[in-house]
Amino acid sequence: MDAATNVTEQAPIEKPLALMNFSKRVMLKNVVMQSDGGISLVGQRLVIGGWVKSSRELKKEPLQPPVVIDNVVEPKVVSCAEVLQSRIPFFKSIIKVFGGGDHHIRNKLTAVVKQPQLYTSILQINDGSCIPNLQVLVDSTLVPPSQVMPSGVCILIEGILQQQSVQGKQVIELKAEKIVHLGTVDQDKYPLSKKRVPLDMLRDNSAHFRPRTKTVASVMRIRNSLSQSTHTFFQNHGFVEVQVPIITTTDTEGSSKKFQVTTLLETGHRIDKKPRDSLRNLMDAVEEKSKKVEELQRNESNKEAFHAARQDLQQTTELASQFERTRKRRSTEMIIEVPKLNFSEDYFSHKTFLTVSGRLHLESYACALGNVYSFGPRFQAEKTDSTKSMPEMWMVELEMAFSHIEDAIECADTLLKFMCTSVLNNCAEDIMFLSKRVDKTLVDRLQKMTMNSSEKISYTQAVDILKKVTQKKFHVQVQWGNPLTEEHESYLADIEFKRPVVIYNHPKEIRPFYARLNNDGKTVASFDVVVPKVGTLIKGSQNEERLATLNGRMEELGLRGNEYEWCKDLRRHGTVKHSGFSLVFDRLVLYATGLNDVRDAVPFPRSCGKAFN
C-alpha cells in the first residue's frame, strides 16, 4: 500500500449537514450556530432558504484587461476589425477616384473589446431559526442585484460554504451557484424597508410581517419554548391534558363581561334616527333634481325655473355632502335595530358565550382523573387601556384532586421556576438579544425567579402595607374589599419586595363564586402570584366542595340557572377537595422577553376596536 493510499484512508470523512424534515434545505441554525462558527463545514454543498435582512453590492474586478486588436492577424479567429484593415487599400483607391484624395485616412484600425461589468450581491440571509444571519454571495451572472438586494426578498439558494472572503460578522459564507427560488418584493410598499420600525406600527398595520423582525422572531421562539416547557412540566408530573370548550353556556367567573355567541343577529337591520334626512333619500333627491335641471336646460323658454332648479340642486347636493361628513364623524347617528331574540331558535337553543375560564370544566375531569390541565384561549369583553390585558388571552389552567390551596401555591411556584429555567437554557441567544434591545434587567430577573422563593402575604397584610406608603400617591385609594390595581401590585412586587409576591385570602366579593369560603365568612381560599414588571401572572384557589356553601354563594350572586347543575352534581356525587389556578400565558411571555405591551407578545393581537387579520 503506497503513501498516497494511506493518506486517503486516514483523511476524515466530512459528514454532510442534515436536511430539514419534509424540506430539502438546511436550517441556518445548524450552520451558523456551530461551536466553531461553522468553519468545519467549509466545502460542503447545501441548499439554504430565507429572507434578505440587509445587503450591499461589490463591484468585481475583471479577470483580465480588455482585449486590444491593433492590426494583429490571428491565425484562427478573424475579427471584423481585421477584415476592415485588410480592405483599407481598396477603400483608398475608391476615394481617390471620387476626388477624396485630400482626406486623411487612418492607416490602421484599433478595436477595443470591453468586458461587461460584473457585480457581487452580498446578502445577509435569515430563515427565522436563530438570531445570526448567514452571508451569501450572489454573482450578477446568476441574477441581477436589483432583484435580490431589497429587504424582504425570499431566496432559496444552492451553493458551497467557504471561508469568509468579504468582511462580515460570520467566519463562513455561502457562495451561490444556483438560484432555486426567488420571491421579489415591491420595495416602495414593503413596510420593513426602513430600519427599526416601531413595534406598535407593525402591530396595528402590518401584523403579518411582524415575525420577520428580529425582535418579534425572538419573542416567538421564546413563546414556543415556554409552550413546550408547559407541556413537559405537566406530563412529567402525571397530569392529563384536557381540551375544554371555547363555547359555553356557563359564566365561570360569575360576574365577568363575556362575548356572546349567536346566529340570530342576521335578522337585525340598520336604520337612521332621522330617516327623512338619510343619505339614501338625499342622494335620490339629488338624482331627481339633476334630471329636472337637464330637462329645463333643454327647454330654454323658462329660464327662471331653470335657475331656481339649479340652485335647489346645489343646495341638496351640499346637504348630502354635509350629511355624509357628519355620518362619518358621528357614528352615533346610526343605530342597530335588533328584534327581541328568541334563543330557543338559536344554533345551540341557549345563550352561549366564549369561555372566560376553563376551571369549572376541568373540575369534572379532576374528579375522575386526578390531576388535569388545559392550554388554550380565554375571552373577556372588558374595555381597558391596560397594556397587560387583551380580550383574547391564552391560559394555562389546572385542577388537582385531593389538594388544598397550599398545594396549588407550591405547584405554581415550581411551574414558574421550571419554565424560567427552561427558557434560559433553550433560548440563551434570544434572551441575550432582547436584554440588549429591550430590557437590560431581563436576564437578572429570570435568574432571580429560578433561585428565590416568593414572598407570601395575605390580602389584609397587602392592604396594610399599601396604606402606609407615603412616598408614592396612588391614583386609586387603597381600601379593604376592593381589588388591588396594577399600580398597587407593581408597588408590592417591584418596590416593596423586589421579587414575586403571593397574595392569598381575598374578600369573597372580588373572587369567583366557586372559591372555598374561609372560616371567617369574609374571605375565600384564593391566591394571586404577582411578579415584577408584569403584575398578576397567576390566579388560583381551593374550590368549594361543600354543596350547601356553594349554593349560598351562588344565591348571593344571583346565579340560579340550570346551567350550573352539572357543577353542583360534582358536589352531590363523590365530592373531593380540589384546587387549581390559571396562568396567563401571554403575560409570562411578556415577563420572559422584557416587553412592555402584551400585544407585542402574541402572534396576532386583538384589542378593543382592533382585530387585524
- Tens of pLDDT, residues 386-395: 899 999 999 9
Average pLDDT over residues 72-83: 48
The three-state secondary structure class of 414 is helix
String of DSSP letters for 62-99? PSSPPEEEES---SS---HHHHHHHTHHHHHHHHHHTT
Stretch among 176-185, 207-216, 415-424 having the lowest mean pLDDT = 207-216
Q: What is the largest CA-CA distance in the chain?
A: 131
Q: What is the pLDDT of residue 298?
A: 67
User: What local confidence, expressed as pLDDT, does residue 86 receive?
Assistant: 55
Q: How confident is the model at residue 3 (pLDDT cuts 50, 70, 90)?
A: very low
> Which grid coordinates are listed for 411?
405547584
Q: What is the pLDDT of residue 14?
A: 55
3-state secondary structure string, 107-129? CCCEEEECCCCCEEEEEEEECCC
Rg (Cα) of the chain, in Å, rounded?
37
Mapped onto helix, strand or coil, the DSSP state of residue 106 is coil
Torsional class of 527: left (φ above 0), alpha (ψ -120 to 50), beta (otherwise) = beta
* Torsion, Cα of 222, 228, 233, 239 (10° steps): 140
Please name the residues in contact with 439: beta carbons below 8 A apart, sequence gap of 6 or more. Answer: 593, 594, 595
CA pair distance 255, 277, nearest whole angstrom: 42
pLDDT at 422 over 50: yes
43-47, 71-75, 77-81, 355-359, range with the lowest pLDDT: 71-75
Distances (CA, A) of 282 to 123, 277, 532: 59, 7, 59
Is 534 within 8 Å of 441 (Cβ atoms)?
A: no
Q: What percent of the chain is helix, strand and coil (3-state, nearest 5)?
A: 40, 20, 40
CB 137 within 8 A of CB 165: yes
Q: For the residues 485-509, what does the mean pLDDT come to?
A: 95
Strand partners, 529: 502, 538
For the entire predicted model, the pTM comes to 0.78
Query: Using an 8 Å Cβ cutoff, are 417 and 450 in contact?
Result: yes
Rounded to 5 degrees, φ, ψ at 52 are -70, 120
Element holding 368 (H helix, E strand): helix 359-369
Q: Determine contact, residues 57/119, Cβ cutoff 8 Å.
A: yes
The number of residues making up the chain comes to 613
Give the alpha-carbon dihedral of 293, 297, 301, 304, to 10 degrees.
Answer: 50
Count CA atoms within 13 Å of residue 203 on its CB side: 15
Kindly give the residue spans of alpha helices, DSSP state H, lying in 330-404: 359-369
Q: Which of 102-116, 467-481, 556-570 has the lowest mean pLDDT?
A: 102-116
Which amino acid is residue 189, in one-letter code?
K
pLDDT of 73 > 50? The answer is: no
Reduce the DSSP state of residue 2 to 3 states and report it: coil
Residue 46 CB coordination number (10 Å): 19
β-partners of residue 392 are 379
- Note the pLDDT tens digit of each residue in 313-352: 777 777 777 767 666 665 544 455 556 778 888 899 888 9
Say if strands 455-458 and 45-59 run parallel, antiparallel, or are unpaired: unpaired
Pairing of strands 334-337, 247-248: unpaired
Report the pLDDT averaged over residues 90-112. Answer: 53
- Write the DSSP string, 449-483: HHHSPPEEEEHHHHHHHHHT--SS--SS---TTSP
- Predicted confidence at residue 76, as pLDDT, reads 46
Q: How far is CA 480 from CA 467, 509, 520, 563, in A?
A: 10, 11, 15, 32
First to last CA, the chain: 69
Lowest mean pLDDT among 149-153, 197-201, 221-225, 552-556: 197-201
Rounded-to-integer distance, Cα 288 and Cα 282, Å: 10
DSSP code of residue 491: I
Residues forming a β-bridge with 138: 121
pLDDT for the residue 613: 65
For 61-70, 246-255, 357-366, 548-557, which range has the lowest pLDDT when averaged over its residues? Answer: 61-70
Q: Is 190 helix (H, G, I), strand (E, B) or coil?
A: coil
Residue 597 predicted with pLDDT over 90: yes
pLDDT value of residue 286: 75
- The pLDDT mean for the chain works out to 84
Q: pLDDT-derived band of residue 251, with 50, 70 and 90 as boundaries?
A: confident
User: What pLDDT does 7 receive?
Assistant: 40
- The runs of H, that is alpha helices, within 133-186 are 145-148
* Model pLDDT, residue 100: 54
Check if the beta carbon of residue 233 is closer than 8 Å to that of residue 415: yes
Rounded CA-CA distance 348/356 in Å is: 18
Query: What is the average per-residue pLDDT within 531-557?
Result: 95
pLDDT for the residue numbered 382: 87
Of 170, 175, 591, 584, nearest in space to 394 by CA: 584
| Residue 8 pLDDT > 60 | no
pLDDT at 269 over 50: no
Tens of pLDDT along 38-69?
Answer: 999 999 999 999 999 999 998 877 655 555 55
- Please list the residues that pair with 394 across neighbouring strands: 377
Confidence band for 531, pLDDT divided at 50, 70 and 90: very high
Helix (H, G, I), strand (E, B) or coil at 139: strand
pLDDT at 88 over 60: no
Q: Provide the 8-state DSSP code for 517.
A: B
C-alpha cell at 116: 461587461
